[in-house]
Chains A and B, each alone.
Chain A
Amino acid sequence: MLRVIGALLWKDLLSELRGRALLAALVVFALLTVVVFNYALDLERTVRASVGAGVLWVTIVFAATLALNRVFAAEREHALHEGLLLAPVERLAIYFGKLLSGLLFVLLVEAVVLPVFALLYDLPVAQPLNLAVLLLGTLGYLLPGTLLAALAAHARAREVLLPVLLFPVAMPVILSAVRASQEVLAGSAWVRVAPAFNLLVASDIIFLALAVLLFDQVVAE
């Protein structure tokens, strides 16, 4: 199964390298979001610490949603979906392959956006604890996201439908991630970070379990 996941991940990376240009578009979009927020909220120095975490997470969530919309796009556009399903591999491997390629893309976007964000908003985002929150939050958003992207891929108006389906489901992940980041950026002690952080971990585990249990039903023919 690990080999299959690796192969799927490599396939998505290779097609990106050969000019799908998704990553570049995601990075530019995320940077634009950061800039727009600065003026939309007219961020003063004093409110930056509390609002900054929210800006960072909305930016990540927007970029991740765009990435998720493309996760099954290549398969759909070139009618490769059946080929993928006909391959003698476990269905769950398809889920994890797509989850990991999505995670890799969004983490790469974050790697570019984070330094720029730190510079523009003057916030200490590069702390280990905040990086852990970023990883867990991104994962927590993509866990139900990849599953729902597979659902939306078969529906009409799928690009609009995906965020409508995903935002309310991912609400606990987004809320606890924002809360945890806020506390970390404000320099709070671990006791104040812990409730949100633990809930984030719990949400990740629950969404992982649900995805493992339900993905077979999504790809069944």
Chain B
Amino acid sequence: MQKNTGLKILSVSSVLLLVAALYMVFVYAPLEAVMGAVQRVFYFHVAAGWVGALAFFVAFAAGLLHLRRGSLLADRVALCSTEIGLVFMSMNIVSGAIWARPIWNTWWTWDPRLTTATITWLLYAAYLLLRQGIEDPQRRARFAAVYGVIAFASVPLTFAAIRIFRSIHPVVIGAGAPGAKGSFDMTPAMRDTLLFSVLVFTVLYGTLLWHRLRLEQLSERVAQMRLRLLQG
């Protein structure tokens, strides 16, 4: 099996960056005055949400590319990116619930952001189920791309639909709703920590995507070898 130095370097640097981000979150960033230690969940919560959105966008773009060019690599990217996006979306939702318990006094509320995140999660879980149900690789790739485009288009509409109801989710970056609960002003150290976390999670996403794509390619090669063995 061939060595993959680039991937190895990226993997090691991802781990180091993650340790540095943890240090910033727990030591460098100051303790928030009102909410206390639980506020520290914010940095990875936002970073995970960002990676989820990025991963689903990459899957959407890869799906479009597949529909245009019929490239099977694009289809593989769409699959791998969706899987990673689902993992980060789950982290985002769970870390949000952990924060919400002391701050909003409930694990869950049907707020636009929370509901949209959940429906997005369900959309991409459905995407994986659709792929699982289709045998023919060409058709699976095409149908998955079609569903990916529809799914991606429906997310902003869902957000708009739920926004018709009132929101209590804080908006830390930009102007928030006046009724938001648990909002706070970021100090420069907090802002640095957030930006660094987002950067680290983005690098982590790239690393995972590379690993997952390689795995997919290897499993396809195994499938081809087996086919040749059975025929020969």
Q: What is the interface of chain A, defined by CB distance below 8 A to chain B? A: 144, 147-148, 151-152, 154-158, 161, 164-165, 167-172, 175-176, 179, 195-196, 199, 202-203, 206-207, 210, 214, 217-218, 220
Whether B158 and A171, one on each chain, are in contact in the complex, defined by CB atoms closer than 8 angstroms, is: yes
For B127, the closest partner residue in chain A by CB is A165
Q: Is the CB of A217 within 8 A of B67?
A: yes
Interface stretch among B94-102, B149-157, B180-188? B149-157
Closest residue of A by beta carbon distance from B144? A151
Interface pick from B35-43, B160-168, B216-224: B160-168
Chain B interface residue bracket vs A: 20 to 34
Contact check, A218 vs B151: say whether CB atoms are below 8 A apart: no
Which of A156, A157, A158, A168 is close to B123, meaning CB atoms less than 8 Å apart? A168
What is the distance, in angstroms, from A182's C-beta to the closest C-beta of chain B? 10
A139 to chain B, nearest CB (A): 15
B150 touches which of A156, A157, A158, A214 (Cβ 8 Å): A214
A202: B residues at CB distance < 8 A: 157
A217 touches B150 (CB 8 A): no
Specify the chain A residue showing the minimal Cβ separation from B133: A155
Chain B residues near A148: list those with CB within 8 A: 147, 150
Q: Which of B112-150 contact A (CB under 8 A)?
A: 119, 122-123, 126, 129-130, 132-135, 139, 142-143, 145-147, 149-150
B164 touches A172 (CB 8 A): no
Contacting residues, chain A, for B123 (C-beta < 8 A): 168-169
A217 with B146: CB separation less than 8 A: yes
Is there contact, CB below 8 Å, between B67 and A176? Answer: no
Residue of A169, A170, A175 with most chain B CB atoms under a 10 A cut-off: A169
CA gap between A152 and B130 in the complex, in Å: 8
B3 to nearest A CB, angstroms? 39
Q: Assuming the A-B contacts A172-B160, A217-B142, are A151 and B147 also in contact, with contact meaning beta carbons closer than 8 angstroms in the complex? A: yes
| CB contact under 8 A between A151 and B164, given known A165-B147, A168-B122, A171-B154 | no
